[in-house]
Amino acid sequence: MHRPSVLQGIRDAAALAPPLFAFGVLFGVLAVDVGMAPWLAVAASLIVLSGAAQFALVGVLPAGAGAVLVAVTGLALRHVPMSAALARLLPAGVGRRRRLALAYVLVDETFGLTVIAARRPGVVIADYKTGADVVLVVNWLIGTTLGAVLGRLVDPTRFGVGELFPLMFLGLAAPLVRGRRAWITAVAAAVAAAVAATVLPEAWRVTGAAVAAALVGSRVRE
């Protein structure tokens, strides 16, 4: 392991720890609120490890298994291009077990940090992402546990937790907006997301808008 890259990943992800933790608490509270056992809420955070998919899971749980699986699949499809983009950044020497471990924590937040870090010289991508992933998993699991145990005693939405998460994504987007192609992609994504939010089912909005905007951006010359 390249220690400086691991530490850099931990340091960079520490900036995202408060919103990750708060969102973990929110998930725990909501899961228990819809009748999920506290241990199952924590198990969901460990097994699924995807904020969006887990919120969809508890949101459509009353509608039955079919609705849950359609929602989870719709949200997870955005990971196909994420998986391809991360695979491009990894050297061939990274073993399969390591690749599968990186895939297990292929979440928006640490993926974003990794894409940004890949632009810096001397960063070992697999090690950097591992460091960032540790911070994410620890905060997500502790937050979920706390939320599931405290349940209705806390209301994280009162503290604007719902807005912290989108702001974090805005923060991840900011360093990537450089050059004509990036600006056009960003504007296209904002417009596509605004349209998708009003016409597409919830689980397909982000995936649909991101793919549409990336298609627009990919046709723009630098």
Partner 1 sequence: MSELSLVVVAGLITFAIRASYLWRRSSTVPASPFLEVFPLALFVSLATVGLAAADGMLEVGAGIAAGIGGILGAVLGRRRILWVIGAGAAAFAVARLV
* 17 closest CA partner among 118, 151, 113, 97: 113
Please, which residue, 1 or 177, has the CB nearer to partner 1? 177
Selected binder of partner 1 within 1, 7, 63, 87 (CB under 8 A): 87
86 binds partner 1 (CB under 8 A): yes
Give the footprint of partner 1 on residues 142-181 (CB under 8 A).
160, 162-177, 181
With beta carbons less than 8 A apart as the criterion, state whether 164 and 17 touch. Answer: no
84 binds partner 1 (CB under 8 A): yes
Beta carbons within 10 angstroms of residue 99's beta carbon: 15
Residue count of the chain: 222
User: What's the closest the beta carbon of residue 115 comes to partner 1, in angstroms?
Assistant: 5
Selected binder of partner 1 within 25, 94, 119, 147 (CB under 8 A): 94
Please, which residue, 10 or 173, has the CB nearer to partner 1? 173
- Through-space distance between the first and last CA atoms of the chain, rounded to whole angstroms: 36
User: Considering CB under 8 A, how many residues would be counted as binding partner 1?
Assistant: 90
Q: Residues 6 or more apart from 212 whose CB is under 8 A from it?
A: 188, 192, 196
Beta carbons within 10 angstroms of residue 85's beta carbon: 14
Give the footprint of partner 1 on residues 192-221 (CB under 8 A).
192-194, 196-198, 202, 205-206, 209-211, 213-215, 217-219
Give the footprint of partner 1 on residues 30-49 (CB under 8 A).
36-37, 40, 43-44, 47-49
With beta carbons less than 8 A apart as the criterion, state whether 159 and 22 touch. Answer: yes
